[in-house]
Each structure stands twice: as structure tokens, then as C-alpha cells.
Amino acid sequence: MKTNKQTEDIRAIRDMMEKSSKFLSLNGLSIVFAGLFALLGIGYMYLYKEEYIAGYQLYPQMNTNLLLIALAILFLSAVTVSLFCLRKMKTNHIPLINKTLIRAAYNLLVPMIVGGMFGLIFFMKGDLWVTLSVTLIFYGLGLINTSKYTFREIHYLGIIEVVLGLIAAFDPLHGLVYWTLGFGFGHILWGIYLYMRYDFSKKRIS
């Protein structure tokens, strides 16, 4: 009995330390919405693919249109994730600014910004296919980095994004397909899983 109690106490202490060192206010539904926004943008690109692309190259005059679509997806996703996180943090009485959040954001944003700038260079040259591959790879690396400070499941999503990016580099003709799988369906499936495991189950208990 004494051994069991000591084991339970150690497990409880470990759980408290893990929670205090990880940002657990990420809401699965916000990730689902990010995936849906991505699908809407990619769907638009599919509809007007022939207007934007000649072979492997973008028509120069269409760069602005596609860039605005990508920025709109990024903005909507960032705002949605932020609002859901703020709501969850407020509900759980977590400070809006804390070291764990800063670490998680830093580890995610640095690879994303570097990858975004790297991809933008090729994008402005009209090479959409390299951009698709690069953004998937660097985004995946960002998820792998930040998974140390949030849900461990994010690590596996990051690996999938990197693998899809590498495949897209070898198969550029279907780059939009891999982008759809990674940014669209990948987010939706992982978001549903995270919501059902960490949010929906707690609502049922309460």
C-alpha cells in the first residue's frame, strides 16, 4: 500500500511538472478551422489553376493574387487559433503572457518565418512548386520544435508535414495535392483528435 501511494505521488508530481512546462491551452477546434481555411484557399487555386500557372511557372501578373490568398489564410488561421487559445487560458485562469507560451511561439515561429521568406524568394520568381515544398518542410520543423512545449501529438503532425514536403520536392507536378493533405486534411484530422482527447472529454466529465 505504501509503495503504491508513493508511486501515485511521484506520478502526480510528474504530471504537475509536465503541465507547468507545457502550453496546453491549444484548442483542437482552432486547428480544424485552420485546416478548413487552407482548403478554401487551395480550392480557389485549383479552380483557377490554369489562369495562374503555365507548366511549372507562375504567370508573373498572378503573383499578387496568390500571395494575398496565402496571407489571408495565414491571418484567418492565426486569429482563430489565438482567440480559441485566449478563451481556454481565461477559462483555466492561465496568465496571457507566460514563459511556456513564449517558448512555444518562438520554436514555432522561427522555422516558419525562415521558411516563409525562403519560399517567398522562389514564389516571386514564379516557381510555385519549390514554394509548396519549402513551406511544408519548414512548417513541419516548426511543429516538431514546438511540440516539446505543447501536446506531443503535434510532433507527429510535424513529421508528416516534413515528409509531404520532401515528396512534393520529388513530385512537383502534384505539389498542390501534398499541400492539401498537409495544411488542409492534416490540420483537420489532428484538430479533431486533439479536441476529442483533451477538450471534449473534459466537457463530458464536468
Give the C-alpha separation, 169 to 188, whole Å: 23
What is the pLDDT at residue 53?
A: 58
Q: Quick one: DSSP state of residue 177?
A: H
DSSP string, 7-30: HHHHHHHHHHHHHHTS-----HHH
Predicted local confidence at residue 114, as pLDDT: 94
Give the separation between CA 19 and CA 32, rounded to whole angstroms: 23
pLDDT at residue 95, as a whole number: 74
pLDDT values of the chain reduced to their tens digit, one per residue, 206 residues? 555 555 554 554 445 444 444 656 778 889 999 999 999 988 887 776 655 555 545 555 556 677 788 888 888 888 898 888 888 878 777 777 778 888 888 998 999 999 999 988 888 877 778 888 999 999 999 999 998 888 888 999 999 999 999 999 998 878 888 999 999 999 999 999 988 888 775 555 44
Phi, psi of 54 (to 5 degrees): -120, 105
Give me the DSSP letters along 104-123.
Answer: HHHHHHHHHHHHHHHHHHHH
Whether this prediction's pTM lies above 0.85 is answered by no
Report the candidate in 177, 167, 175 with the shortest Cα–Cα distance to residue 55. 175
Give all strands (DSSP E) within the chain, no chain letters: 53-54, 57-58
Distance, CA of 3 to CA of 14 (rounded, Å): 16
